[in-house]
Amino acid sequence: MQHGNYPKVNMGNSWKCNCEGDFELLIERVVQNGTKVYLVSSAKKNKVGPRYATSRFSTKLRNLLAKYPGKVLYLELDDWKKRIKLDNK
């Protein structure tokens, strides 16, 4: 079913959530339908203590990149920020 210029993906439910598990399932279904997925995020570590850091880019998303090479692609968010800054000068 088309939604504008993009096909609508049936997730099997009528509610919408915004959590990592929903994105994982959505990405799986979209890739299985033959569409490439671009993940735009930052994999850089966020220092939260003297010896502790977290990453905003989840293990689930890293696993999808490994599972579907060439179909799930990663774009570094900071590269886009730098490009936007350069374009606005």
Q: Does residue 1 carry a pLDDT above 50?
A: no
| DSSP-based helix, strand, coil % in the chain, nearest 5 | 35, 25, 35
Mean pLDDT, residues 77-83 taken together: 81
Q: Report residue 38 CA to chain centroid gap.
A: 6
Mean pLDDT, residues 75-83 taken together: 82
Give the pair of three-digit tokens for residue 46. 């966020």
pTM of the model: 0.68
pLDDT computed for residue 16 by the predictor? 59
Q: What does the pLDDT look like over 32-78, one tens digit per residue?
A: 989 899 988 888 888 888 888 888 788 889 999 999 999 999 988 88
